[in-house]
Amino acid sequence: MVGVLEGFATIAVIVAVGWVLADRRVLDDSAQVNLSRLAFYVASPALLLTVMQRTPLDAVLSANLVTSLAAFVLVVAVYVVVARLRWAAGSLGSQLIGSLSAAYVNAGNLGIPIALYVLGDVAWVAPTLLMQLLLITPVYMALFDSDARGERPTLGRSLGRMFRNPITLGAVAGLLIAVFGIHLPRFVAAPIDLLGAMAVPSMLVAFGISLRRGPRPATGRSAGHVWTIVALKTVLMPAIALGIGLALGLRGQALFAVVVTAALPTAQNIFTYAVRYRREVNLARDVIFVSTFASVPVILVIAALFHGFAGV
């Protein structure tokens, strides 16, 4: 339980730093954009390279991976249907941000400490982390690039842009290093580690600036949209993961891990993508903010139920 609170408290402090800096006018809207660009083009690729080369690949190909992927796809499908019925289609970029906000979990800077302190092993979050980095992110980045250029997505264009995107390149480079057992010399690895260490703070400070400079979260005409996505993320997604996990024969700690992972809030990465592609910035910001708070009691309840009834 302590791990859950520690993970959320760490994020809250860094976001608060961004809020205070914006409130004191040390940083402004341009700083938010520049920090997001820094995270997107430099720090995040370096972080993904570092994470991927250190992630135990033998923990990936499992029912955990299948459950995480299926839960993501089903939640995205539900969001698309609900969004088309309630808020019309919108642009492709808007739908991409909305669907990612509903199903892309914070498996990195929040999932890792929670996996360590709540699940007892970081390896439990590895399948979801790799699934998002190697499958979901490259596909979405290619679609974002097509939308930004006003082009209709095609398989050829998507594949071409998929491997020109810095986020995808960082993840793929890290995977290749891990697969082939490449040992980077210290003078190469050290700068990459330092650049990667900037990713999460940059995203969180930019997020804090947005909270101070932008409209109050989850208010006005977009409130219904925000709360619908939060419900999909924090309630429907772990419920789907539970059902799929049971159907695949997961029990005990393995089932507990996929449900807790699915209940994690929306990742801060989505805000970075929204700023980079100028699509639904406030929506992404609001969903991340609300889902982060909403997921705390959800994860605590899940932990209590599994400890009480499943003996985990």
What pLDDT shows up at residue 61?
65
What pLDDT shows up at residue 123?
67
Question: CB–CB of 15/204 below 8 Å?
Answer: yes
What pLDDT shows up at residue 181?
87
Q: Say how far apart CA 105 and CA 129 lie, in whole Å.
A: 9
Mean pLDDT by 10 residues, the chain (312 residues): 68 89 93 89 87 70 87 97 81 92 86 70 76 86 84 64 75 85 92 91 87 76 90 97 95 92 92 91 92 89 81 62
What pLDDT shows up at residue 56?
67
What pLDDT shows up at residue 263?
95
What pLDDT shows up at residue 154?
62
What pLDDT shows up at residue 233?
97
Other C-beta atoms closer than 10 Å to the C-beta of 41 total 13
What pLDDT shows up at residue 77?
97
The CATH class, in words, for 2-310 is mainly alpha
Question: CB–CB of 219/279 below 8 Å?
Answer: no
> The tokens of 82 are what?
């609900």
Residue with tokens 């402090």: 13
What pLDDT shows up at residue 201?
87
What pLDDT shows up at residue 156?
64
Question: CB–CB of 255/311 below 8 Å?
Answer: no
What sections of 24-125 are H helices per DSSP?
29-38, 44-54, 63-86, 92-103, 111-114
What pLDDT shows up at residue 63?
85
Which tens digit of pLDDT belongs to each residue from 208-219?
A: 898 888 777 777
Domain ranges of the chain: 2-310
Burial of 42 (0-12, 13-18, 19+ CB in 10 A): middle
